[in-house]
Structure 1
Amino acid sequence: MYVAILTIVDPELNAKVRPAHLEYINQLYLQDKVVMAGPFADQRGGMVIYRADSLEEAKQLAEADPVVREGARTLELREWKPLSFPLA
């Protein structure tokens, strides 16, 4: 899995592009490519957890997000290895 941290850098542009962002994330969720997504409580951006077979695939998905593509948010993409519970 891969985590995208999307930090808002242009609030006006972000507000304009946000509906397309939400539609994009929803479509990926329906394709089982997004596990979870949502805004941070401080309203400075949000996070998307992608299910992808490679960093390259995750990067393509994240960079195609309208808020990233249009420059409303920056992208920090990292591979994530969630723990399985209970821990041994």
Structure 2
Amino acid sequence: MPVFAVTYTYTDDTAGRDEHRPAHKEYLNSLAVQGVNLCSGPFGADETPGALLLISAATKADALDATEGDPFRRQGLVADVSARAWTPMLGRLAPEMG
């Protein structure tokens, strides 16, 4: 199955993210259990607030659709979301993702 690098750019609503983070993590974990969310996490503290999600999906549209139920997206805490096809080729995680 293809892999897509989905990036979130968060809004400035830090309090909203704090409030909805448990549900956000629960949702992304449910995608991980299903084999859809291969790996995800926030960008570093010195970066523009956002996150990277590596999503296994048949198409780019399916990858984006998988994130629509994320509480961060449902609550309007993601200002921008995009997906790009990504081919894991090298490194210790590549065999698991490819």
TM-score, L = length of structure 1: 0.84
Measured in 2, the distance between the counterparts of 1:73 and 1:54 equals 21
The equivalent of 2:95 in structure 1 is: none
Over the matched positions of the two proteins, sequence identity in percent amounts to 29
- Root-mean-square deviation (CA), in Å? 1.6
Which residue number in structure 1 is paired with residue 38 of structure 2? 35
Under a length normalisation based on structure 2, what TM-score does the superposition of the two structures give?
0.76
Structure 1 residue 23 corresponds to structure 2 residue 26? yes
Cα distance between partner residues in 1 of 2:21 and 2:6: 16
Q: Which runs of 5+ in 1 are unaligned?
A: none
8 Å contact kept, 1:2–1:49: yes
Structure 2 unpaired stretches of 5+: 92-98
Q: Could you tell me which amino acid in structure 2 is paired with residue 60 of structure 1?
A: D
Query: Any residues of structure 2 matched to 1:1-88 within 5 Å, and which?
Result: 1-9=3-11, 10-42=13-45, 44-74=49-79, 75-84=81-90
CA deviations on 1:22-55 (whole Å, 9 max, x unpaired) are 0001011001001101111126121111001111
Q: Which range moves more in the overlay, 49-58 or 76-85?
A: 76-85
